[in-house]
Amino acid sequence: MSLYNELRGKHPLFIYHSYTLAENCLEFHFSIDEYHFYPRWEFDGALTAGEYSREQAERAAFSLGMAELVSYWKCACCPRVEVRCGGLTDKQKKWWKKLYYNGLGEFFYRNGVDAGFEDFITIEAPEPAPLPRHTTDLSGVLVPIGGGKDSVVTVELLKKAGADIYPYIINPRGATLGCVAAAGIAPDKITGVRRSIDKTLLELNAKGYLNGHTPFSAVVAFSAELFAIMSGRKYIALSNESSANEAYVDGSSINHQYSKSTEFERDFREYCAELGNAPEYFSLLRPWSEWQIAREFVKYPQYFGVFQSCNLGSKTNVWCGSCAKCLYVYILLAAFLEDRTLEDIFGCNMLDKSELSETLEGLITDGRDKPFECVGTRDEVRLSLEMAVKLRGERLPALLRHYRELVPSCHPVDLSGFYDEDNFVPEEFRALLGGKR
């Protein structure tokens, strides 16, 4: 019997007991048999001091709990989820089931789980009470800041449009705060929140319970919606690009970035429409590829010394220089920047690291799985590598020599004029990306 089926048999029920939205914190209560989880969000009490719909905020807080619970549910993959707070329509139950299934695609794949959509989970919840319609004046743009190049580009484009920008940061760290400072945004405009994971989950993982990737960007989305409601923001501007739609496993729809995809964005906007006069969620960079974002990013050297998007090095605010994410970002920037500048950013010349040859192959080779990191398309990587080769002339570092051996000649896809029309960018911001007004 597989561990997946063994744990489901041992733990048939997951319970969402409660959520408590207080002046400066939000706490959830989940359980699997004798194991209880109390994940917590802490924030500035000033967020709750303004005028906003308490009913709307409560509904958003409950929904954030639905996004959070999958991180705890996945350790045993209980076949039943019972919701004892809030409520869900049949349509909403299907909505959450779709998010969990697609958002856990990598988790199932890497754990060798053959989960069927129809029977991997049943969500039980009462019908929700009608939500009173609430109208209030909304203003400003809440911008989630992760510390990487994408949110930097979003901020700089919105600055050109004269938007009133309010950075939103989960667990502030050096890179996120540094990017806000480099953007010239006052610290008092930051909505900074602390999210903590219940240690019981980590203890179960240490005992051999299942672990793996979950749709964290859905947590970002629902938390941003909650705090935008509480602070009266009109827009929530994400920095997810068109490239996030590409599958990672050859011949499948498994996507490490599912909750950054256009499909999720569309579904999320429809879900939040039921909250009434809610802030509008969209991704400003959706029309662009990652290559175009990199081309824009290099125009802002004030960020070179502060931005950072390596997951392995996030706690110490460094680029580890050894993972697929580091190599991917290095290659994108190598299309536009000299090695000396890149070495100042990353602390090394990653193109000289021949031990990363296999990682490189995963980024460019059709028919192979892409590395399970937030990386773009193979066309983007190949275009960047071709440009990096031309920029460096005859003296090529190890990985560029390896690339040239793998691909003696290449006519890369021209992405300079790419524009993905399947986007939700508001009319007032479309011109920033070259779209039609």
Within its chain, how far is the Cα of 272 from the centroid? 18
Question: How far is residue 333's CA from residue 348's CA, in Å, rounded to a whole number?
Answer: 14
Question: How far is residue 256's CA from residue 69's CA, in Å, rounded to a whole number?
Answer: 19
| H runs (alpha helix) in 249-320 | 262-273, 290-297
| H runs (alpha helix) in 357-414 | 357-364, 378-392, 398-406
State the pLDDT at residue 67.
98
Q: What is the dihedral of CA 146, 149, 150, 155, to 10 degrees?
A: 80
Our CA angle for 112, 113, 118, nearest 5°, is 160
Q: Are 69 and 14 in contact (CB under 8 A)?
A: yes
Angle between helices 290-297 and 324-334 (to 10 degrees): 60
Question: How far is residue 193's CA from residue 190's CA, in Å, rounded to a whole number?
Answer: 9
Q: Which of 268, 229, 223 is nearest to 57 (CA)?
A: 229
Q: Are 267 and 98 in contact (CB under 8 A)?
A: yes
Integer CA distances (angstroms), 5 to 14, 77, 214, 407, in order: 15, 9, 19, 44
Radius of gyration of the chain (CA): 22
State the pLDDT at residue 1.
66
State the pLDDT at residue 435.
57
State the pLDDT at residue 134.
72
Mean pLDDT, 10 residues at a time, over the chain (437 residues)? 93 98 96 98 85 90 98 98 96 97 94 92 94 80 96 98 97 95 96 97 97 96 96 96 83 84 96 87 97 97 95 85 94 96 96 93 82 84 95 90 87 90 96 72
SS3 label, residue 211:
coil
SS (H, E, C) 32-100: ECCEEECCEEECCHHHHCCCCCHHHHHHHHHHHHHHHHHHHHCCCCCCEEEECCCCCCHHHHHHHHHHH
Terminus-to-terminus CA distance in the chain, angstroms? 57
Q: Are 65 and 103 in contact (CB under 8 A)?
A: no
Question: How far is residue 418's CA from residue 225's CA, in Å, rounded to a whole number?
Answer: 30
Integer CA distances (angstroms), 20 to 29, 85, 292, in order: 9, 10, 42
State the pLDDT at residue 436.
46
Enumerate residues 6+ apart whose C-beta is below 8 A from 246: 255, 370, 376, 377
Integer CA distances (angstroms), 324 to 36, 198, 224, 319, 361, in order: 35, 29, 28, 11, 11
User: Strand 40-42 and strand 25-32: pairing?
Assistant: antiparallel
Integer CA distances (angstroms), 93 to 62, 122, 216, 226, 300, in order: 14, 9, 19, 20, 44
Q: What is the pTM of this model?
A: 0.95
Q: Are 11 and 33 in contact (CB under 8 A)?
A: yes
